[in-house]
Amino acid sequence: MTKRRLPGIFYNPLSVGGAALASVSLLTIVFLTLVEVLQAHSPAYIGIVSYVILPVPLVIGLLLIPLGALRERRRLRRGQPASKLSFTVDLAVPHQRNVLTAFSSITAILLLFTAYGSYRTFEWTESVEFCGTTCHSVMEPEHTAYQNSPHARVKCVDCHVGPGAGWYVRSKLSGAYQVYAVLANVYPRPIPTPIKNLRPAQETCEQCHWPSHFAAEKKYVNTYFKSDSANTRWTVALLMKIGGGNEDRGPAGGIHWHMNIANEVTYVATDDQRQTIPVVRIKSRSTGVTTEFVAGDALEGADTLRARPWASMDCIDCHNRPSHIYRPPARIVDQSLARSRVSTALPHIREKAMEVLKLDYTTREAATDSIAGLLREFYEREYPQLLESQPALLPAAIQELQAQYGRNFFPRMKVRWSVYPNNIGHMTDLGCFRCHDGNHRSADGRVISKDCNSCHTLLYQGTAPVPQTLSVAGLPFEHPEDVGDAWNEAPCVECHSGQ
């Protein structure tokens, strides 16, 4: 008999089984960690398996060892014979030899499959299907909006798990908590932002978009429709002064250059969503000169505000919805009308469509029924002849609006455009106007500009889809609806946020 290094009570089937389980788990974890270290682009969620799932059998195995030993001690105390662990194999006996060969081959094959299977599991956990559909109802809004966004082919983890060890550990920890939150059904609806541990950052975006290759300018032609009976078309063409760091492509100015390369912008926000920003500082990277801007109504309490934590402006302060874009009703309906998926021949359709999309439904089925019901009721009552002469118009409109509802509204997770502010513009949310409201001043009288032609040049506007007047310098803005000067005195959100 071989020499035993441990007290006899450890040599019982339960302890030995536990030790085997623990060793296999540990070996797999070591194998996975090696894969992770050696592979340059290792799957980001590999760790959910190696650090969240595999430790479970490891710990169970480790617990079984003393448990077996305790049982064994009790057996011995009761005077029962010690457990038998030894057995002999006689290779000279053909039957025993065959059994042993079969047994070792199967074990070896199983081990190989397990290793390969685990590896495939990581690859899968890194995929968009895993992030977007495993917890289907939870991630449904993000996954659906993502598929209809410019980033539909960018993996979730490319934005949400950045490069470097710090990110790695953070994503691991919050990933483990999220698995728990979903299983225990304690996750919030809607998921609150800003998200803390998986917040995309400059480093993640800059893997693909580095400042020197931004386009200098980009033309946006926005088509709107008025809420009148004719659904009058209105076009606004803007040349967005994106800017970048690439002087070969044009002037290195504009939105990005100002924010990220030449200057550092820091600010104090008084709410979690960073919608109220009373104090802003800008520091020139070349001269080191600092300028501070304070909102008019915050001058008195400015010192207490300065003592709060400062945030450094990065991509997400403007691009917080690059991929999960929940469109507001006005934008949805205008786009459907512009693409002729909803016909402008239906009187008042712009106004009515917005109305039915906006209602607060508790399920998608209720919304689908109600969108069809309410619209049909309105047109049957007001325009029965039209339904008879052009019977295809209304069903087509209903179908389009139901589909759009499905892409932009998620009653189960309580997600709709108004839940998450979109910081990129200034129509339905404050966005740029959080600072660019013409009311943030420096001590020497400089103002963060609200000039309508400072961020974009207004090329043309009006009811004609083809430009009548084209301006390179930028036209003065003409508000499509006569509201006097109110459009410029109040921020646009004041009247447009509910759309």
Nearest approach, Cβ of 172 to ligand HEC (angstroms)? 16
Q: What span, in angstroms and rounded, lies between the C-alpha atoms of 241 and 47?
A: 42
Between 18 and 322, name the residue whose CB sits nearer to ligand HEC: 322
CA nearest to 401, candidates 324, 362, 346: 346
Residue 322 beta carbon to ligand HEC: minimum distance, rounded to whole angstroms: 4
- The owner of tokens 């550990």 is 169
d(CA 16, CA 55) in angstroms, rounded, equals 18
* Residue from the set 71, 170, 199, 414 that interacts with ligand HEC by CB under 6 A: 199
Residue 12 interacting with ligand HEC (CB under 6 A)? no
Is the bond preceding 163 in cis, omega lying within 30 degrees of 0?
Answer: no
Specify the length of the chain in residues. 499
The only residue of 46, 48, 161, 255 in contact with ligand HEC, by rule CB under 6 A: 255
From 70-78, 216-224, 378-386, 400-408, span contacting ligand HEC (CB under 6 A): 216-224
One-letter amino acid at 255 equals I
CA-CA distance, 108 to 106, in Å (whole number)?
5
The only residue of 21, 172, 450, 457 in contact with ligand HEC, by rule CB under 6 A: 450
For residues 19-78, which are near ligand HEC according to CB under 6 A?
Answer: none
Q: Is 15 left (phi over 0), alpha (psi -120 to 50) or beta?
A: alpha
Residues 84-113 touching ligand HEC, rule: CB under 6 A, are none
Report the residue from 21, 277, 346, 393 that binds ligand HEC according to the rule CB under 6 A. 277
Burial 215-234 (b: 16+ CB within 10 A, else e): ebbeeeeeebbebeeebebb
Choice between 64 and 401, CB closer to ligand HEC? 401
Indicate whether 456 belongs to the interface with ligand HEC (CB under 6 A): yes
Sequence-ordered list of residues with C-beta below 8 angstroms from that of 289, at least 6 positions apart, any chain: 283
Minimum distance, C-beta of residue 270 to ligand HEC, in the bound complex (Å): 13
Stretch that binds ligand HEC, among 51-59, 140-148, 180-188, 397-405 (CB under 6 A): 140-148
**254 contributes a contact to ligand HEC by CB under 6 A:** yes
Residue bearing tokens 């469109």 = 327
267, 379, 410, 417: which one binds ligand HEC (CB under 6 A): 267
Of 98, 207, 284, 304, the residue at the interface with ligand HEC (CB under 6 A) is 207
The amino acid occupying position 481 is E
Provide the mask over 391-430, with x wherever binding to ligand HEC is found by CB under 6 A and - wherever it is not: -----------------------------x---xxxx---
Closest approach, Cβ 195 to ligand HEC, in A, equals 4
Among 142, 295, 342, 353, binds ligand HEC (CB under 6 A): 142
Q: Please classify residue 270 by burial: count the beta carbons closer than 10 Å to its beta carbon, then call 0-12 exposed, 13-18 middle and 19+ buried.
A: middle
CB 14 within 8 A of CB 44: no
Phi, psi of 198 (to 5 degrees): -115, 25
Sketch the per residue contact string, 285 through 314, with ligand HEC: x for CB under 6 A, - otherwise: --------x-------------------xx
Among 75, 226, 376, 441, which residue sits at the site for ligand HEC (rule: CB under 6 A)? 226
Of 475-494, which residues contact ligand HEC (CB under 6 A)? 477, 479-481, 483, 486-488, 490, 492, 494
Residues 123 and 43 sit within 8 Å (Cβ to Cβ): yes
Kindly indicate which of the ranges 43-51, 93-101, 201-209, 340-348 contains the residues binding ligand HEC, using the contact rule CB under 6 A. Answer: 201-209
358 binds ligand HEC (CB under 6 A): no
Does 325 participate in binding ligand HEC (rule CB under 6 A)? Answer: no
Q: Which is nearer to ligand HEC, 45 or 361 (CB)?
A: 45
Contact stretch for ligand HEC (CB under 6 A) within 82-90, 179-187, 295-303, 446-454: 446-454
Stretch that binds ligand HEC, among 4-12, 234-242, 360-368, 381-389 (CB under 6 A): 234-242
Residues 6+ apart with CB under 8 A from 457: 238, 239, 241, 471, 472, 473, 474
Query: 25 and 51 in contact (C-beta within 8 Å)?
Result: no
Nearer to ligand HEC, 10 or 172 (CB): 172
Measured distance CA(262)–CA(252) in Å, rounded: 10
Q: Which residue has the tokens 């759009």?
A: 404
Return d(Cα 317, Cα 269) in angstroms, integer.
11
How many amino acids of this chain bind ligand HEC (CB under 6 A)? 99
CB-facing half-sphere around the CA of 358: CA atoms within 13 A? 15
- Applying CB under 6 A, which of residues 125, 231, 260, 457 lies at the interface with ligand HEC? 260
